[in-house]
Every structure is written in structure tokens, then in C-alpha cells.
Structure 1
């Protein structure tokens, strides 16, 4: 009887050690792991390709929003690509301070010095936000 109790206690102790995990001596030091990467100090901040801010066009002397976009993000002014552009000729829709003002020519009426930011929405995002008739996307100009 005594031997069976000893074996039972020994089995319980072994099971407890198995569930406890590795001992402190078996654990490895992960503070100096080679998997940790440090970003380089001179890394350029990620630029949003769908946004133009005054910091990006401060050194430019373009008179209006159209010229700014044409110089810095000309792809925004191009029409829709692919099969749909063959079937329908669509152009980007322009919004100024939340109101629809027309096509790309409306950008000529927005002075560059009054612009807070210009944001581009591709066809999918523009259609989800404003509905159909945005096959070439939308340009939203926010003024001061």
C-alpha cells in the first residue's frame, strides 16, 4: 500500500512539472533577439499617394489646383482605364469643400494659395461614397 501511494505521489509530481512549463534555467533570453528590427534613422515617412498637402506644394508657384495636380499627381486627371473607358468617356469629378463643382476644368477656378488639401478617390471609393457617375474617380479640394 505504501508503495502504491509513493508511486501515485510521484506520478502527480511528474504531471505537475510537465504542466508547469520550462524552468527559469531552461528559458532563453529574448531581449536581444535578432528578429527585432530597428528602422533606419533617415527613413522617409510614408507618403499617401492619394493626398496632396501644402507641405508638398509649398515650394511650387502654380496658380491653381489644376496646375498643382498636373505637376504633382498627373494620373488623377486621366480618365478611366480599360473597357469602360472605351464605352463611355468619363472624366474625374471635382468636389470643393464637399460640393460637386464639375469636371477637371473646375480645378482652374481654385487658387493654389486657398488650398488646405487635395484628396483623390479612385472609381470604386468614389462610387461607394457618392454613387454612380464616378468611373474616373473624384478629386476633393478642401480650402481654408
Structure 2
């Protein structure tokens, strides 16, 4: 009889522990859900819109800084082959992403530093094939197209 009482007391103590511990487990799960990472901002990886630029509040004065802040992947060269001319010479600019402002070739990515915030409507990355279709040869690394405000 005494063993039964000890077992009963132990069973009651176990039940009490489960009742007390269960809300703790649930609240721990809830806090994990609350600490989940925030979703990434909606937008396309190859486009920086006028709204995104405005959201920076003028803290980034050039196109280079805007791309660096919002879409640094645009600076990564996705193709490594240089184009060869008819005489076998290599064009070194083919390995560099080219920049176009309102469809006028500016040069390499550093020319984005010459394009000011007040000039920019949107910035778009073009793949090598899209850039070659739109702007012709010497765009094997892709292009960054800046559309100016009109």
C-alpha cells in the first residue's frame, strides 16, 4: 500500500510537471516563430525602380552607390570570355560590364559614379545576350542600363 502511495504521489508530481512545462514549450515555439527572418523586399534582381531609389532618401548620391547598396550582384561578371576581333586581337572591354545612360555607351561600371541621383529614373541589369541584342557586340559581360528622368 505504501508503494502504491509513493507511485501515486510520483504520478501526480509528473502530471503537475507536464502541465507547468507545456506552456513553456508552446511559448518557446511562439518566440521562435516571432524571430523568423523578415522576407526579402519584393522586386526583381535585375531592376532598381524609381521608388526604391526614392526610399534611400537621397543618402546615396550616385548610380554606383545605388547599385552597390540595393543590387550589388549587378556588378558580378557572369561571362568570362573576351571577344576576338577578325585579326585575333582581344577586346578587354568585353570582359567588363558596360554602362549605358539613355542608350548611350558611357564605359565600364566606374562611370556609374558620374551619374547623379537627380538623373536616374531606373537602373536595369542586362544579361550578355540581352545587352548584345540591344547594344551590339562588346557586351559579353552584360550591361547596366540607366534610364534617365525626362
TM-score norm. by structure 2 comes to: 0.58
Aligned length, in residue pairs: 100
Instruction: Look up the match of 2:64.
Output: 66
Instruction: Look up the match of 2:134.
Output: 129
Q: Is contact 1:123–1:134 with CA below 8 Å preserved after alignment? A: yes
More helix by share: 2
Query: C-alpha displacement at 1:104, in angstroms?
Result: 0.6
Tell me the distance in 1 between the aligned counterparts of 2:45 and 2:74: 10
Unmatched 5+ residue regions in structure 2? Answer: 1-39, 83-89
Any runs of at least 4 consecutive aligned residues in structure 1 with deviations exceeding 3 A, and if so which?
none
Instruction: Look up the match of 1:36.
Output: none
Tell me the distance in 2 between the aligned counterparts of 1:98 and 1:129: 9
Q: Does 2:85 align with 1:80?
A: no
TM-score norm. by structure 1 comes to: 0.60
Unmatched 5+ residue regions in structure 1? Answer: 1-43
The change in CA–CA distance for 1:57 and 1:137 in structure 2 (over 3 A counts) is: same
Instruction: Look up the match of 1:51.
Output: 47
Alignment root-mean-square deviation, CA: 2.4
**Could you say which structure has the larger radius of gyration?**
1
- Residue 134 of structure 1 aligns to a residue whose secondary structure is coil
Q: Is contact 1:79–1:136 with CA below 8 Å preserved after alignment? A: yes
